[in-house]
Amino acid sequence: MSEILSLAANNLLSPIILSFALGVAASLARSDLSVPEAAAKALSIYLLFAIGFKGGVSVADHGIDLTLGLSLLAGIVLSFILPLVAFALLKVMSGLSRLDAAAVAAHYGSISIVTFVAASSVLESSGITAEGYMVAVAAAMEAPAILSALWLISRGGPDGENGTQRMDSDLWREILLNGSIVLLVGAFAIGWATGQDGLAEIDSFIVAPFKGVLCLFLLDMGIVAGRGLRGGSGVLRPGVLAFGMLMPLIGSMFGLTAGLLLGLSTGGVALFMVLSASASYIAVPAAMRVALPEANPSVYLTLSLGVTFPFNLTVGIPLYVAIASAMTGG
C-alpha cells in the first residue's frame, strides 16, 4: 500500500499531471485559456510519431519473437471482449439504452494513446523498462472494439438496425485509416526500419522535448475534459459515473492476466493493464459518428474523457504500475 501511495503522490506532483489539472481548473473556472486547434493537432502528431518511432527502434534492437505475435493476438482478443464486459456492466448500473450502452462499451474496448504515453513516461521516470512492441499492441487494440459494439447492436431489437448494414465503406475507412492509427503504425515501421542509427539522427527532436510537449498536450486535454464535465453533468448519473471508474479497474485485471500469461516484463505488464483500462476518445468517437449516429455523444465522450481519462492519469497508472511490480517481482 505504501508503494502505491508513494507512486500516486509522485505522479500527482509531476508536471504532466499538474498540467492536466491546470487545464481542468481553468475550464471549470470558465477562463478563456485555450490551445489553438492547429497547435493541439500538431502536439498530437508529435506525440504519436515519437512514441511510435521509439517503439520501432526498441523492436529493431531486440528482434521479433513469438511473444510479440502472441501479445498482438491477446490485444485483439481483449479489445473484442472488453466491450462485452462493459456492455453487461452498463445494463446493470446505468439504465442507458442499448444503443448508448453499446457506443459507450466500444470506447472501453479500444485504447487511449495519450494514457499509454503518460504511463510510458511514468515508467521511464521510475526506471522501469517495457517491451517496445507494446506500441504495436496499442495500435492493434483500436479497431476490434468497434466491431464488437456493432455486433452488440445487431443482436438488439428495435433499438438498432442490423449491425451488418452499418459496415459500409465509410466505416471501414474510419476504422482502418484513422489518422492516429496510420501515424502510430507508420512511425513504428520507420523506427523499426532505421533502428538506432535513425534515432541518433533525430534524437534531439523526439527524446529531449517529449515530456514538455506532453505537458502542453495534457493542458489542452484538461481544458477539453473540463468543458465536458461542465456541459455533461446532466448525463453523469451516479451509476454512469461509477461505471467510468469501475470499468478501468476491471479492464486492468484482464490486462494483468494477459501480461502475466505472456511472461512480459514489469513495464510490459503495466502497459497491458493501462491499455485494457483506458477508454478511447479519438478513434472510437469518430467511428461511432459514422456507425451509430443515433447514439448520444455527450454520454460516451463525457465518460471517456471527463471521468475515465483523469481517473487513469491520477489514480490508475500508479495503481497499475504498483500491482505489476508486485506480481512480477519488479
Q: Which residues contact 164 (CB under 8 A, 6 or more apart)?
A: 150, 154
Total domains in the fold of the chain: 1
Domain holding 175, by residue range, is 2-24+35-328
Q: Could you tell me the CATH number of the domain that includes residue 79?
A: 1.20.1530
Per-residue model confidence (pLDDT) at position 161: 47
30 found inside a domain? no
- pLDDT < 70 stretches in the chain: 1-11, 156-171, 174-176, 232-234
56 found inside a domain? yes
* Cell numbers representing residue 251 in the block: 479492464
Of the candidates 252, 260, 242, the one whose C-alpha atom is nearest the C-alpha of residue 318 is: 252
**10 Å Cβ neighbour count for 15?**
12
pLDDT tens for residues 208-258? 898 899 899 889 988 988 887 787 666 778 899 999 999 999 999 999 999
Q: Which residues contact 328 (CB under 8 A, 6 or more apart)?
A: 260, 265, 266, 269
Separation between Cα atoms, residue 150 and residue 287, nearest integer Å? 11
116 found inside a domain? yes
Per-residue model confidence (pLDDT) at position 154: 75
Q: What percent of the chain has pLDDT over 70?
A: 89
pLDDT tens for residues 183-210? 888 998 999 999 999 999 999 998 889 8
| 120 neighbors 50 (Cβ within 8 angstroms) | no
The whole model's pTM is what?
A: 0.83
160 found inside a domain? yes
16 found inside a domain? yes
